[in-house]
Amino acid sequence: MTGQAKPRTRRKTTNGAAGTPLLRPLNPVRRRTEEVVERIAAQIIEGRLPAGARLPTEQAMMAAMGVSRTVVREAIAALRARGLVTTRQGAGAFVNSEPDQQPYAIDPDGLGSLGSVIEILELRTAVEMEAAAIASERATAAQIRAIAKAAATFSRAIANGDRAVKEDFDFHFAIAVATQNARFVGFLEFLGGLIIPRQSIRTFDGKVELQKRYLESIEKEHQVIVNAISARSPRKARDAMRRHLLNGKERYKQLSVDPVQ
């Protein structure tokens, strides 16, 4: 800010009720995540959500704005990446004390193209290969069971015809936790659901069989990773994760994809 800029006046507001501007129903034409981000960011920048204020719960935003849990979580991830909010496990999301700071960020709205998806997969490959190797060495028995459970949950989800976006993320997150290195956990928390490209781009357009084969390929690769980590083999775990993410890149290259509108 320059010396001539007028200081902002932050006003405390009640933001947990459905009748506030923050929680009014969304315009059905605009992209869900984008509008949720814009609305909350505006409230913060204008001072209507003061520093330290707790954002409404996921459930409250879902109900009031008519959006899915995935949309809410992606919006919070984008706000966190912009430095506007901080999330505290079990407590929710809170407005940062210095929301004007702009750290490195990945804009979710820029992830609707194949090129951007490939870039994210290349970034993940560099990080998650080593995460899998480290997890194979450091994971407790309970953490290995958690990884296997996440893989099984993914399998059940796709068997029920689900796209299994959350379940896919949870599998990779369980591996990050098993590294016992908070930086790997923080990396996946930072990216959030952005690591699962199929929620950002149009991949199947109602092609049920294509989606089924695609997800079954992921399921098999997950199991190879589980087996390698369970065997306490860093080399096999690293290679399995590398193949999984490189295969993912090739699968997206082969698909005819368009940005989600």
- Per-residue pLDDT tens over the stretch 220-229: 999 999 999 9
Tell me what pLDDT residue 196 has: 77
What mean pLDDT is predicted for residues 242-255? Answer: 87
The CA angle 71-78-225, to the nearest 5 degrees, is: 75
Residue range(s) in the chain whose domain bears CATH number 1.10.10.10 = 21-95
- What dotted CATH number matches 21-95? 1.10.10.10
115-158 pLDDT, tens digit per residue, is: 777 888 899 999 999 999 999 999 999 999 999 999 999 999 99
- How far, in Å, CA of 187 to CA of 194, rounded? 11
Q: What is the model's pTM?
A: 0.61
Residue scoring higher pLDDT (6 or 122): 122
pLDDT of residue 1: 44
Q: Which candidate, 204, 193, 205, places its Cα nearest to that of 111?
A: 193
Q: What is the mean pLDDT of the chain?
A: 80
Topology annotation, domain 111-259: Four Helix Bundle (Hemerythrin (Met), subunit A) (1.20.120)
**How many angstroms separate the CA atoms of 155 and 24, rounded?**
37
Q: What is the pLDDT of residue 205?
A: 57
Identity of the residue numbered 227: N
pLDDT value of residue 180: 94
pLDDT in tens, 72-112: 888 888 888 778 898 887 788 999 876 544 455 555 555 55
Residues of the chain with CATH 1.20.120.530: 111-259
- Quote the CA–CA distance of 174 and 155 in Å, as a whole number: 15
